[in-house]
């Protein structure tokens, strides 16, 4: 796998020299690979928001480096600027950041800033709108007349329209109902596949990351204690609980079952895996 | 039977054109009859646009009915003279804490509302401290709210409502932005309030596991109540819930899948322990 974005001994201290001085990141080595769907989990205050804000140059490291495609993003002004276009960041509750008169103009804001010509902007706006399931008829509406879920999709389209190689989303599903959650996750998956883009999904829902991502990175106390496939990471159930993260509900149920003396593989983390495991165990029991 | 602290009678609400960015008038509540018993813990679940937030805003007269009526502790919410009493009876916590914090220091923010209600200084100190302790934010009392995380800010906002000592607290998706521990802390603070102080809690939520912890679960769709009962009963209606864009807790989802596969398992094993027990009986 080819790294697309990396941090080397990245440190960040907030409010240095004041009583609020706080080390948010401590010599963090982080890598995201081209085309992967990465989940980033960590408690409130763990440093994960600080980390993602470094990945597109919104924050400047107080120590260490951030590399995009092998180049230090702070090498010169132009590199920093280009990185911000290549690494798209969708904040929490991005719908509060809509400001234009029409959906079209809001989505076009990013590509316009990139200095693209009118035709290219138009192509990108329409394509981005399609990715998030907004019909052409909605483009001339005021974004403020839309529902919360639609507004969020407009905001995500605005970042997608810059066609970033890395798309970072901070809790994109917060506050949405189950159908809305699945739509947004599906939109993101479509974008990843169409552009071979890297997705970094920040989430508080273990169940959500469990069934969505290929790889997980855990941020705790300004460090990365665990990373790997969901199956690998969720094996550290006890430590994750101590970090205030926990494991998916199915993993918890199966650990209990195991503790009750049932011979079953406890490394399941989704409902369909759990169903498989139960049916397999029953078949095995029947065979004995 | 306990008196209903909140009562809606054939409640209807229509956003008129121009209101809240609406281009056309839109009927959001379509005849809701609901009694919230004093001291109960009720969760209200529904998809986006189901009307659940609009319903919540009727519970302390932020919105007034277009048809039907809402009574808060017997007071008609449309009666402007009782507005202060109604707001004092029912406190409201919203989704986004940033819109709810007014002061530069945490404890001043929590003191803001009770101070306005004229609570004497000595009592005020105790109320603020108790409220901050109840949400686990006491050690941050001298911090600046803008330096807190989203979850911490939300707990400060909840403390601000608790400090008014309302008889009922309505929370509109208060944990949407919190991490699992933050959610657990907020939820246990809410439960404590309900159990120890007898405060009535109405929790609007998308989180099935939070809804599962309420004593009563009301499900809304298209401006109507479509299910109402103890969570264990309501969640058994897997297909109906899914048909209105909702899901069920993963425990119920697994048991439901197993039943579809022809196995004899109960559907009401909501908690981790109950679900494990049900599987144990199947496998042991």
CATH number at residue B112: 3.40.50.300
Contact B206 A178 (CB under 8 A): yes
Domain identity same for B63 and B143:
yes
Strand partners, A3: A33
Instruction: Give the domain extent around A285.
Output: 248-288
Domain identity same for A48 and A151:
yes
Evaluate whether residue A59 is within a structural domain. yes
A280 interfacial to chain B (CB closer than 8 Å): no
* H/E run at residue A48: helix A48-55
Domain identity same for A221 and A266:
no
Measured between CA atoms, the residue of chain B closest to residue A249 is B250
Asked if the ipTM is above 0.85, the reply is: no
Evaluate whether residue A241 is within a structural domain. no
The residue-averaged pLDDT of A260-280 equals 92
Domain identity same for A149 and A256:
no
Domain identity same for B204 and B255:
no
Domain identity same for A118 and A255:
no
Evaluate whether residue A240 is within a structural domain. no
Instruction: Check pLDDT > 60 for residue A288.
Output: no
Domain identity same for B28 and B152:
yes
* H/E run at residue A24: strand A22-33
In this prediction, residue A24 carries a pLDDT of 87
Domain identity same for B203 and B273:
no
Average pLDDT score over chain A: 91
Evaluate whether residue A116 is within a structural domain. yes
Domain identity same for A223 and A268:
no
Q: What pLDDT, in 10s, does the model give residues B55-84?
A: 999 999 999 999 999 999 999 999 999 999
DSSP chain B: -PPEEEEEEEEEEEEPTTGGG-SS-EEEEEEEEEEEETT-EEEEEE-TTSSHHHHHHHTTTSS--SEEEEEETTEETT-GGGHHHHHHHEEEE-S-GGGT---SSHHHHHHHHHHHTT--HHHHHHHHHHHHHHTT-GGGTTS-GGGS-HHHHHHHHHHHHHTT--SEEEEESTTTT--HHHHHHHHHHHHHHHHHH--EEEEEES-HHHHTTSSEEEEEETTEEEEEE-HHHHTT-HHHHHHTT----HHHHHHHHHHHTT----S---SHHHHHHHHHHHH-
Q: Residues 29-58, chain A: which have Cβ within 8 Å of B?
A: 42-45
Q: Residues 175-194, chain B: which have Cβ within 8 Å of A?
A: 176-183
A288 interfacial to chain B (CB closer than 8 Å): no
Domain identity same for B195 and B275:
no
DSSP state letter for A95: G
Domain identity same for B137 and B215:
yes
d(CA A199, CA A58) in angstroms, rounded, equals 18
The number of domains in chain B is 2
Instruction: Give the domain extent around B259.
Output: 249-284
Domain identity same for A41 and A177:
yes
Tokens of B162: 């608790």
A174 interfacial to chain B (CB closer than 8 Å): yes
Contact B276 A260 (CB under 8 A): yes
Q: What pLDDT, in 10s, does the model give residues B165-198?
A: 899 999 998 887 777 777 887 888 888 889 988 8
Chain A contact probe: residue of B176, B180, B210, B284 with most A CBs at under 10 A: B180
Measured between CA atoms, the residue of chain B closest to residue A257 is B276
Domain identity same for A175 and A73:
yes
Chain A contact set for B156 (CB, 8 A): none
- The shortest C-alpha distance from A141 to chain B (Å) reads 10
Domain identity same for A226 and A254:
no
Domain identity same for B268 and B159:
no
Contact A43 B182 (CB under 8 A): yes
In this prediction, residue B32 carries a pLDDT of 97
Domain identity same for A152 and A265:
no
Evaluate whether residue A274 is within a structural domain. yes
Strand B200-205 versus strand B41-46 pairing type: parallel
The number of domains in chain A is 2
Domain identity same for B255 and B238:
no
- The shortest C-alpha distance from A92 to chain B (Å) reads 8
Chain B contact probe: residue of A170, A177, A254, A266 with most B CBs at under 10 A: A177
- Count of beta carbons in the 10 Å neighbourhood of residue A12: 23
A178 interfacial to chain B (CB closer than 8 Å): yes
Domain identity same for B169 and B270:
no
B142 interfacial to chain A (CB closer than 8 Å): no
Considering CB atoms only, which of B96, B254, B283 is closest to A282?
B283
CA distances B128 to A45, A164, A205, A262, Å, are 24, 47, 32, 50
Contact A249 B280 (CB under 8 A): no
Domain identity same for B59 and B75:
yes
A283 interfacial to chain B (CB closer than 8 Å): no
Q: What pLDDT, in 10s, does the model give residues A103-152?
A: 999 999 999 999 999 999 999 999 999 999 898 889 999 988 887 788 99
Evaluate whether residue A236 is within a structural domain. no
């Amino acid at each position: 796998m080819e790294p697309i974005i990396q941090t080397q001994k990245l440190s960040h201290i907030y409010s240095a020299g004041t009583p609020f001085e706080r080390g948010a990141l401590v010599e963090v080595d982080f890598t995201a690979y081209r085309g992967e769907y990465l989940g980033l989990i960590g408690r409130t205050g763990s440093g994960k928001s600080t980390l993602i804000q470094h990945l597109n140059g919104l924050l400047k490291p107080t120590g260490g480096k951030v590399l995009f495609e092998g180049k230090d993003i702070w090498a010169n002004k132009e590199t920093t600027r280009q990185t911000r276009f290549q690494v798209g960041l969708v904040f929490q509750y991005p719908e509060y950041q809509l400001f234009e008169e029409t959906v079209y103009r809001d989505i076009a804001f990013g590509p316009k800033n990139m200095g693209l010509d009118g035709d290219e902007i138009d192509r990108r706006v329409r394509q981005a709108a399609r990715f998030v399931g907004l019909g052409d008829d909605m483009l001339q509406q005021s974004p403020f007349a839309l529902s919360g879920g639609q507004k969020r999709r407009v905001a995500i389209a605005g970042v997608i329209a810059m066609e970033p190689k890395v798309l970072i989303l901070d809790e994109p599903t917060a506050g949405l109902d189950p159908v809305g959650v699945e739509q947004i996750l599906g939109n993101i998956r479509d974008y990843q596949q169409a552009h071979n883009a890297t997705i970094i999904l920040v989430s508080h829902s273990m169940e959500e990351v469990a069934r969505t991502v290929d790889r997980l990175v855990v941020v705790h106390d300004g460090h990365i204690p665990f990373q790997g496939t969901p199956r690998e990471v969720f094996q550290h159930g006890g430590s994750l609980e101590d970090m205030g993260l926990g494991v998916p509900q199915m993993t918890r149920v199966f650990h209990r079952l195991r503790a009750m003396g049932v011979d079953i593989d406890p490394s399941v983390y989704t409902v369909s895996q759990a169903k498989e495991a139960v049916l397999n165990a029953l078949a095995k029991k029947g065979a004995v | 039977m306990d008196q209903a602290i909140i009562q809606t009678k054939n409640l209807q609400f229509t956003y008129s054109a121009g209101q809240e960015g609406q281009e056309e008038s839109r009927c959001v509540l379509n005849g809701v009859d609901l009694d919230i018993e004093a001291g109960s813990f009720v969760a209200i679940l529904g998809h986006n646009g189901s009307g659940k937030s609009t319903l919540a805003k009727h519970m302390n007269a932020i919105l007034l009915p277009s048809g039907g009526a809402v009574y808060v502790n017997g007071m008609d919410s449309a009666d402007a003279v009782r507005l202060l009493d109604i707001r004092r009876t029912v406190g409201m916590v919203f989704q986004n804490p940033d819109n709810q914090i007014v002061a530069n220091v945490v404890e001043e923010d929590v003191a803001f509302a009770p101070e306005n209600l004229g609570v004497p200084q000595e009592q005020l100190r105790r109320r603020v401290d108790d409220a901050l302790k109840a949400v686990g934010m006491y050690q941050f009392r001298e911090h600046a709210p803008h330096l807190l995380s989203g979850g911490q800010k939300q707990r400060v906002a909840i403390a601000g409502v608790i400090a008014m000592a309302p008889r009922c607290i309505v929370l509109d998706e208060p944990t949407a932005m919190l991490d699992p521990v933050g959610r657990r802390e907020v939820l246990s603070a809410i439960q404590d309030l309900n159990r120890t102080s007898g405060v009535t809690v109405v929790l609007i939520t998308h989180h099935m596991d939070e809804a599962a912890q309420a004593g009563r679960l009301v499900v809304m769709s298209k401006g109507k109540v479509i299910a109402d009962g103890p969570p264990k009963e309501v969640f058994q209606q897997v297909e109906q819930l899914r048909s209105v864009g909702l899901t069920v807790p993963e425990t119920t989802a697994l048991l439901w899948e197993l039943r579809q596969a022809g196995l004899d398992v109960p559907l009401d094993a909501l908690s981790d322990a109950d679900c494990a027990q049900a599987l144990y009986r199947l496998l042991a």
